[in-house]
Every structure is written in C-alpha cells, then in structure tokens.
Amino acid sequence: MNQLILAVDQGTTGSTVLVVHPDGSVLGRGYREHPQHFPTPGLVEHDANAIWTSVLESTATALGQAKARAQDIAAIGITNQRETIVAWDAATGRSIGPTIVWQDRRTSARCAQLRAEGREARVRELTGLPIDPYFSATKIEWLLANDADVQAAAQAGTLRLGTIDAWLVHRMSGGAVHATDASNAARTMLFDIHAGAWSSELCELFGIDVAWLPEVVASSGHIAEAAAADTFLGISAPVTGIAGDQQSALFGQACLHEGQAKATYGTGAFVLVNSGANAPASTALISTVGWRVGEQLTYALEGSIFTAGASVQWLRDQMQFVGASPEVEALAKSVPDSGGVVVVPAFAGLGAPIWDSEARGATLGLTRGTSRGHIARATLEAVAFRVKQVVDAMRAEGTDVRELRVDGGMAANDLLMQLQADVLGIPVVRPVQIETTSIGAAYLAAAGAGIYESLDEVESVWQCERTFEPGSDGALAAGFVRFEAAVAAVRAFASATTA
C-alpha cells in the first residue's frame, strides 16, 4: 500500500482524484464540481481557491474509498485544464483577479488586432500556435491591464502567474515551488517549443516579466514536495508527474510511438497524434509539446475542438431534454437518423481546423416533425463530424491516422463511438480505463518516482475494452456534407452580425 499513486485531474467543470495501484488499477475515486462563472456572454471564469477546495475534497474521498492513508501515497501526478490562467500574490499565497478559463473569448478583439499587425506567422513559428483567445498570453495581458490587485502585485514584485498545474504545485508545496511542465508551458503562447524555454520576444510583446512565470520542468521527475502536513491532507510525497490534460491522455493511452493517435471527449474534444522528436509544421492545427522526459521533448500534432461534452450539458441543463447526460444516448437511439437536423455546437467559437472565435452555435433543418431525439442525435453526430474535420486536416497535412484510441466521459457512449468509426472509416478503440487523462498523470508520476523502471511498463498496463469497426453509412456521409454547409452558414452569420 505504500507505493500508491495519487492522480489529480483538475478539469474545467470539476476535479477528479484517483488512487492508482502501479498495475494501473484504480482503488479509489473522488470527484467534486466547482462553480462556473459567466459574467457576460463570451466570458468564462473560475475561482482558483474554489478549485483548490474541490481538489482537497476529491482527494479525501478517493483516499477513503481506497482505504488508503496519507502515508501510503508514494507519488503525486497532476493533469489539468490547459490555457486557463491563475494570478496569485506570493506574499499571501492567495489567488487574485479572476481565473480566466480557456473557453473565455474576452480577448478576441486583441487577437484580431495582433493578426492584423502581421504577428501570427512569428507567433506560430515560435510556439506552434495560432493567435487565438484560447491561449494564455492575451488573458495575462488583460489581467495586467484591467485588474487592480494584479497590477499592485506586479508593482510589489510578488505577482505569480501560471496555468492550473502551477497553482496546484504552489498550494501542495505550501508556496515553496513555482513550476510548470513543458506541455503546459507550450499552451501559453509564450513558450518557444523549439528552444524549450520561455520566449523573451513574446513576453515583451505581451508586457509580461519572465520572473512572474513558473520554472519549466520535465513532465516526469522530481518537481516538488507536498511536505507540509497541514497543507495537503497530511500527504507528504513528491510531485513527480505533470502534463496538460490532453497530453496526459495521449500518454495514458500509451501512444508512446510516432503516429499513434487518440481523441478525448470531455468538455471539448481533442485529437492528438504523437509526432516524435520533431515539432510538426502545420497551418490548420496546433504543433505542441507532448511531454518532456529528462531533456528530451516529444511533440504532438493537435486539433482542439472547443465543444463536445458541453453540448450534451446544454441539452441537459438549458434545454432540459434529459435529466442526466448518459440518457442522451437512449434519446438519440430513439430515432434512426437525425431527420435532416444539423447542430453546429459552436458555443465558444470554432477551434481547429477553422479557428473562428466569432462563430456561435445553431440548429438547422428543423421541421414540424423534428423531435428531441432528432436534435439529440444531431448533437452526437456534430461531435463526430468535428473530429472528422480535424482528422481530415491531419491527413491533408501528411499525417496518416489509421486508428483512433478514445477516452473521456463521452467515450462511454456506444452510439457516438460507432458514429465516429463510421464517419472516419478507421477502427475506434476504447480502453478498459476511459479516464486516461488521470491515468496518464499517474503513469508519468510512477515513472518520475522510479516506481516504473521504463516507459515500456506503461504499454504493458494499457488494455483494450472494445474496438468499434467502421461500417458504410451513406446517410451519415450525406449528413457530413450538410454539416459542412451549416458550418459555413454559421460563419457567414457571425461575419454579418459583427461587421
């Protein structure tokens, strides 16, 4: 019991904590949601202190379910929602200003200005990223310009900035360590992914002092000590693994070799392909850091889709079609097809490969015969179609995706997984453990703590639960053509209304 791994998965809507045995089995699980704040349309905020509380509560639940003691934890792994930015004051240890979430679009106009100034080519050259409100740099710039507490801390020299992983390391270590890993740093639009370091050029562009940013460390290895007994529920163990949620899922899916691909269906959907030791060049997708082990960077090609599971939450919460998210599958199965209905789930704009931050969601093709079942099925189809758009872009740029490993909450939906296989024309493989984001953090931590002697052990513990083989579905193919037309209509509408 004294070789257990604590995997902390701090997500957009809540915090999941797993107690994991080195063989990959989950002994205990805790989950707590944390509040979402939407001050005005397009703005999405969290409270970083509430996030820390959700981590503490989830950890207590997971330990209790596993019948484990604090001293049984040998290593801690962290994975997190990326791009979300936290500011805090080193003098007090408390967060200041709003925690601006990756979905937030408040800096759309600033990003448009930067593109108009011709900055995008250089930003993409250094970071692998397009200029978009999705990433952290313009969020930080906004905080520095608009929040008095952040300005005061900057003047006093006590300002600290970081993605959620850095905030958790700060809290776990009692403020002793200010660190992030290379995969999270790569999502800020401030990190030179080729040099593996913060870019002084980009920090100057956005008015950011490098001293405010965390030290960039390896994704697996000794990072910090959760050593203060009253800080983290009495756990005194090293943090030995960190990765952004999608990179962690790629690692947790044992996609350790170049060309292996996975899709995670969470609040958004994210398709990543292991690109090996060379950063891929792309115009439609994201070139990013997968992880760093020692001094070796492993890169990934990524397509980020902003809305996936969030569209089901919309059906549940706003439309009240179902009482619980898993009920959507049965509702969608109540009809043989979508009845010509098309849903474009652009609730937070359209990410890869389109990158239109002004686009908004729409439901098209309604008739008097349209039912809740048709809209539910069209919503699932839309998620599969958006993933297809990303995979098609990967193929167009020379990356051949031959199999897709899937995870995340929506991966439990058999109908969606079969739709995905049918529309892609390749096998879709679901593992036994679909919480691979958390599991990836556990694997990184186990490797970093020496519990695993090599990465080969990660491949040995990964297991397939079911493979969805592609079938021929002419109606679905026709539906994709309608979906592409609907996306064009949504973008035209956005352009007309913002002109």
- Of 424, 103, 441, 108, give the one whose Cα is nearest residue 266: 103
Instruction: Flag whether 292 is in a domain.
Output: no
Strand residues in 47-200 grouped as ranges (E)? 73-80, 85-89, 95-100, 159-163, 179-181, 191-192, 197-198
> 439: helix, coil or strand?
helix
The answer to whether the beta carbons of residues 128 and 186 sit under 8 Å apart is yes
Question: Per the domain annotation, does 209 fall within a domain?
Answer: yes
44 within a domain of the structure (yes/no): yes
Asked whether residue 302 is domain-assigned, the answer is no
For residue 17, report the phi and psi dihedrals to the nearest 5 degrees: -125, 130
Give the C-alpha separation, 348 to 44, whole Å: 10
- Residues 210 and 154 sit within 8 Å (Cβ to Cβ): no
Q: How far apart are the first and last CA of the chain?
A: 62
Tell me whether residue 195 is in a domain.
Answer: yes
Closest CA to 188 of 248, 234, 123: 123
How far apart are alpha carbons 269 and 286 in whole angstroms? Answer: 14
Domain count, the chain: 1
The answer as to whether 266 is a domain residue is no
Environment class of residue 455 by beta-carbon count within 10 Å: exposed (0-12), middle (13-18) or buried (19+)?
middle
Range of the domain at 60: 4-253
Give the β-pairing of 14-20 and 286-293. unpaired
Give the chain's count of helices (H) and strands (E).
16, 23
Q: How far apart are CA 276 and CA 441, in angstroms?
A: 19
Which of 185, 216, 355 has the alpha carbon at shortest distance from 286? 355
Per-residue pLDDT tens, the chain, 499 aa: give them: 578 999 999 998 899 999 999 888 899 999 998 888 898 988 999 999 999 999 999 999 999 999 999 889 999 999 999 999 999 999 998 999 999 998 898 999 999 999 999 999 999 999 999 898 989 999 999 999 999 999 999 999 999 999 999 999 999 998 899 999 999 999 999 999 999 999 999 999 999 999 999 999 999 999 998 876 567 888 889 999 999 999 999 999 999 998 899 999 988 899 999 999 988 888 889 899 999 998 889 999 999 898 899 899 999 999 989 898 889 999 999 999 999 999 999 988 898 899 887 889 999 999 999 999 999 999 999 999 999 999 999 998 888 899 999 998 899 999 999 999 999 999 999 998 888 889 999 999 999 999 988 777 888 888 899 999 998 777 888 999 999 999 999 999 987 776 5
Q: Taking a C-beta distance cutoff of 8 angstroms, is the pair 84, 99 a contact?
A: yes
Q: Say if 380 falls within a structural domain.
A: no
3-state secondary structure 275-291: EECCCCCCCCCEEEEEE
- Identity (one letter) of the amino acid at 98? P
Tokens of 112: 């448009």
Pairing of strands 197-198, 14-20: unpaired
Q: Which residues sit opposite 239 in a β-bridge?
A: 76, 224
CATH number at 101 reads 3.30.420.40
Pairing of strands 179-181, 191-192: unpaired
Per-position DSSP letters for 5-24, written without gaps between them: EEEEEE-SSEEEEEEE-TTS
Among residues 57, 48, 49, 64, the alpha carbon closest in space to that of 8 is found at 57
Which pLDDT tens digit goes with each residue over 309-342?
Answer: 989 999 999 998 989 888 999 999 999 999 999 9
- CA 6, chain centre distance (Å): 20
Structure-token match 């849903």, residue found = 343
| Residue 464 within a domain | no
Contact assessment for residue 4 and residue 23, using Cβ atoms and an 8 Å cutoff: no
Return d(Cα 248, Cα 242) in angstroms, integer. Answer: 8
**Residues contacting residue 400 through CB under 8 Å, at least 6 positions apart:** 259
| pTM (two decimals) | 0.86
